[in-house]
């Protein structure tokens, strides 16, 4: 929590002294429309992730075991992922991205944010010394995710829909897969058919890119509704 507060303070200082703006230019202060954005982002990405898991289950014939529901763990996981997602979003889609958009334009700023976000996961995943193919894979998958979320932030003038995407993705994944500190909250994988060769290569890319591509299509459809309450500040 202290780290999050420090990032908020630094964001305020940067915006105040560089752009002469209040931190609300990030769209971080909850309003009715922004909370609608957040909830829609959370629900939509959760559905996309569930669809991805369903496809993975069918293709690899995964067998799942349902676990005893621990509501305390689910609540703690929600709070943990909310803090984690907000921290990352303020760093990669917060004050720095806003300032870059003002100084070098949205296209270049979003591209730079995408590159940094993809490279950041080499360190957060601890894979910097792994094979180049893994580094490229992680960079492309997480970079694409970062692009969609940065694009959404720019178009909605608020950090809350990307935050909904981020939280929904991480929390939904934690219901099915092992992760620290919270994982397999609802289901555990018992068995599956392992893919090999090119089948494994292409399917891995599909799984990684599928939610982000669907999310980008969803956001672009929303943008066509220019008077939509969803995209108003």
Give the per-residue pLDDT at 45: 97
Dihedral, CA atoms, 138, 144, 149, 151, nearest 10 degrees? 150
Higher pLDDT: 63 or 5? It is 63
Give the other-Cβ count within 10 Å of 45's Cβ: 28
**232 in Cβ contact with 155 (< 8 Å):** no
Over the stretch 93-130, which tens digit does the pLDDT of each residue have? 899 999 999 999 999 999 999 999 999 999 988 888 88
Tell me the pLDDT tens digit for each residue of 139-195: 999 999 999 999 999 999 899 999 999 999 999 999 999 988 999 999 999 999 999
* Distance in angstroms (rounded) separating the CA atoms of residues 19 and 41: 28
Residue 229: per-residue pLDDT: 59
For residue 37, cis peptide bond before it (omega within 30 degrees of 0): no
DSSP 8-state secondary structure symbol assigned to residue 82: H
Distances (CA, A) of 21 to 5, 17, 160: 19, 8, 19
List Cα–Cα distances, 206 to 46, 59, 202, 213, in angstroms.
17, 12, 6, 10
Q: At 112, is the secondary structure helix, strand, or coil?
A: helix
> Chain-wide mean pLDDT for the chain?
92
Q: What is the pLDDT of residue 197?
A: 87
> Residue 222's Cα: distance from chain center in Å?
18
pLDDT at 55 over 80: yes
pLDDT score of 74: 96
C-alpha dist (Å) from residue 228 to 37, 48, 223, 233: 11, 22, 8, 10
Contact between residue 84 and residue 171 where contact means Cβ atoms under 8 Å apart: no
Which position has the higher pLDDT, 130 or 60? 60
């Amino acid at each position: 929590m202290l780290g999050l507060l420090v990032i908020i303070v630094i964001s305020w200082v940067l915006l105040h002294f560089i752009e002469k703006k209040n931190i609300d230019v990030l769209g971080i202060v909850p309003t009715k429309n922004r909370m609608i954005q957040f909830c829609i982002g959370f629900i939509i990405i959760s559905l996309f992730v569930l669809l991805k898991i369903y496809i993975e289950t069918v293709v690899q014939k995964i067998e799942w075991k349902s676990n005893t529901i621990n509501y305390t763990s689910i609540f703690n996981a929600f709070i943990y992922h909310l803090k984690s997602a907000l921290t990352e979003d303020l760093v990669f889609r917060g004050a720095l991205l806003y300032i870059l958009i003002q100084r070098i334009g949205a296209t270049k700023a979003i591209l730079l944010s995408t590159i940094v976000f993809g490279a950041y996961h080499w360190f957060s995943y601890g894979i910097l010394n792994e094979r180049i193919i893994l580094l490229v894979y992680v960079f492309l998958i997480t970079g694409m995710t970062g692009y969609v979320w940065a694009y959404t932030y720019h178009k909605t003038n608020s950090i809350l829909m990307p935050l909904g995407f981020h939280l929904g993705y991480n929390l939904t994944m934690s219901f099915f897969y092992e992760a620290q500190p919270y994982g397999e909250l609802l289901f555990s994988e018992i068995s599956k058919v392992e893919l090999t060769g090119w089948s494994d290569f292409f399917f891995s890319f599909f799984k990684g890119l599928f939610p982000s591509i669907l999310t980008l299509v969803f956001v672009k459809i929303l943008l066509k509704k220019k008077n939509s309450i969803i995209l108003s500040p």
